[in-house]
Amino acid sequence: MEDLGFPWWLRGTHLLNIIFLSFLIRSGIQILASHPKLYWNDACKHGSEWLSFTTKEMPKDKLWTSQDEEEYYNSVVAIPGGDSLGPGRQWHFLNVIGWILTGVVYVALLFLDWPQWTRLVPTSWEVIPGAFQNFVTYLSFQIPPIPPGEEYNYLQKLTYGAVVFLLAPFQILTGAAMSPALSARYPWYIKLFGRHQSARSLHFLGLVAWISFVAIHVFMVVVHGFGKEMAKMVFGTEEHAEAAIVITIASIVALVALHIVTTKFSLNYPRRAQHALLAVVSPVRRSLLRRVTSAQNYDITDISPQPRVNGRPPAGEEYKRMAENGFEEYRLDVYGLVEKPRSFSLEELRTFPSVQTQRTLHHCIQGWTYVAEWTGVPLHQIIELCEPKPEARYLVFRTFQNVPESEPEPKGPGNFYGTIDFELMNHPQTILAYEMNGESLPVEHGAPIRLRVETQLGFKMVKWVCAIEVVEDYSHIGKGQGGWREDNQYYGTGAGI
């Protein structure tokens, strides 16, 4: 039997795996902090969580929003820590890309470098009783023997094989299942995991499994002989154990330093970090999810009874007055790079020739969801009436919400706004909604008009819309990042996942 050894590619991908996994765990915790509750139901009804990591209790006597439920975790466990969902997501996606590429290279070489695959894939049923016997041997505080022609004992072989071929794909698949674009286009895929929130819970349990595996793995490396085992991973042989220990310790110090530097960079230079991370993440996300369109039509029985809200309604007098009058004075202005600027009343929108109703799953960027029925006008029809000029590329949605006025702890200045491009505008389920669940849009959900773009995360679906500006470029608007949350919370403009 050929000695499989520890080839260079195996050692290299193992090192990369450690780096990417360490960032994935910290950035995953950062994302979880923005909604530290896990559910098995997509309605996410308050109180139905099966696990939570917060002591916050929501008030019974006044309006609260999902922002009040956020936790701010320390940078020791989360990257970059604190109130940093946007950067945390970008760190997560950057490392997802690197980790998946590493995994693809590893698995490819495992099968190309024949017969390396036999180190992880059992070739005999003997492995099962052998692994049990190994377990008993460990319980006797002894090291099980390595069978001839193998690099690991049977229990190791089964465990490593399960991690590479089961746990890693499981994390990728459950992570992808949280994408609003994928769940909008392929509802059956999400149902493989139950629903969206089941996928989120399973993704978390996968994280627990990873952390458990790493803890036991490191412990067993020490038990088996730290120097000898590290020499295999550093040099590919059991020789030079002392040098391997020194290199391992130096590598751990370097990894910790890398985490500290990237964390400080993200906290001290959030805009530069946003641009640097998105330079990698955005093209990948765009190429995978951009053209995915929504084909959702949930059953009426799926509609969530008490959908959450994110963001408090506008507090301005003009809006309050309009709301009291049933928005009779409301006008939706469409202007900018159009041949025919128009102004629509709510009644004109309600009596528009095309009416579209859709029951869809709303995905908040924080992680919670709900199903609702939306009725409104296809957005592209409104814009086409105004005859956009050839250079027009983006729609900027202006709102009544002055954030510092409405939010007790505003995360930025000015009025909320958001942008989408013409491609999203033309998606079949992109509408300007004026009804929710068969009734006029409630104030807390964006009355009188909100945007629905069903392949995107909730923050792109601007509420309390008062005007649409058609532009060629959004760099001169706000802080130039393409939306209020992109400007002030460092989100990416792409929101397909």
Sheet holding 331-336, edge to edge: 342-345, 331-336, 465-471, 394-402, 415-421
How far is 62 from 67, CA to CA, in rounded Å? 14
CB of 217 to other proteins, least distance (A): 17
Token code pair at residue 65: 């929003």
CB of 389 to other proteins, least distance (A): 49
Pairing mode of beta strands 465-471, 331-336: parallel
Residues forming beta bridges with residue 419, ordered by sequence position = 396
208 binds other proteins (CB under 8 A): no
Taking CB under 8 A as the criterion, the residue among 140, 188, 317, 408 binding other proteins is: 140
Residue closer to other proteins (CB basis): 201 or 262: 201
Contact segment (CB under 8 A) with other proteins among 134-142, 208-216, 409-417, 443-451 equals 134-142
49 binds other proteins (CB under 8 A): yes
Q: Is 47 left (phi over 0), alpha (psi -120 to 50) or beta?
A: left
Are 38 and 197 a contacting pair, CB within 8 Å? yes
Q: What stretches of 135-186 adopt beta strand conformation (E)?
A: none
CB of 308 to other proteins, least distance (A): 11
Residue closer to other proteins (CB basis): 52 or 65: 52
Residue closer to other proteins (CB basis): 9 or 64: 64
Taking CB under 8 A as the criterion, the residue among 1, 141, 299, 409 binding other proteins is: 141
Residue closer to other proteins (CB basis): 44 or 468: 44
Taking CB under 8 A as the criterion, the residue among 62, 124, 139, 408 binding other proteins is: 139
Taking CB under 8 A as the criterion, the residue among 28, 36, 180, 446 binding other proteins is: 36
Residue 174's contacts (CB-CB under 8 Å, 6 or more residues apart) are 193, 199, 200, 202, 203, 206
CB of 471 to other proteins, least distance (A): 42
111 binds other proteins (CB under 8 A): no
CB of 306 to other proteins, least distance (A): 8
HSE-CB of 160 using CA atoms within 13 angstroms: 20
Radius of gyration of the chain from Cα atoms?
26
50 binds other proteins (CB under 8 A): yes
Taking CB under 8 A as the criterion, the residue among 8, 54, 166, 473 binding other proteins is: 54
Residue closer to other proteins (CB basis): 237 or 306: 306
Write out the DSSP string of 319-366: HHHHHHTTTTT-EEEEEESBSS-EEEEHHHHHT-S--EEEEEEEE-TT
Residue 188's contacts (CB-CB under 8 Å, 6 or more residues apart) are none
How far is 455 from 264, CA to CA, in rounded Å? 33
Contact segment (CB under 8 A) with other proteins among 50-58, 113-121, 320-328, 357-365 equals 50-58
Taking CB under 8 A as the criterion, the residue among 1, 47, 125, 148 binding other proteins is: 47
46 binds other proteins (CB under 8 A): yes
Residue closer to other proteins (CB basis): 33 or 462: 33
Pairing mode of beta strands 450-453, 430-436: antiparallel
Residue closer to other proteins (CB basis): 45 or 479: 45
Where does 235-301 have alpha helices with state H?
241-268, 270-289
Site string for other proteins, 287-326 (x = CB under 8 A): -------------------x--------------------
Residue closer to other proteins (CB basis): 306 or 351: 306
Residue closer to other proteins (CB basis): 71 or 421: 71
Contact segment (CB under 8 A) with other proteins among 49-57, 109-117, 185-193, 370-378 equals 49-57
- Contacting other proteins within 209-248 (CB under 8 A): none
How far is 313 from 466, CA to CA, in rounded Å? 13
Cα torsion angle, 212, 214, 215, 219, sign: positive
How far is 449 from 356, CA to CA, in rounded Å? 14
Amino acid at 173: L
204 binds other proteins (CB under 8 A): no
How many chain residues bind other proteins (CB under 8 A)? 23
- Contacting other proteins within 67-96 (CB under 8 A): 71
Token code pair at residue 346: 């709510």
Binding site for other proteins (CB under 8 A): 36, 45-47, 49-55, 57-60, 71, 136-137, 139-142, 306
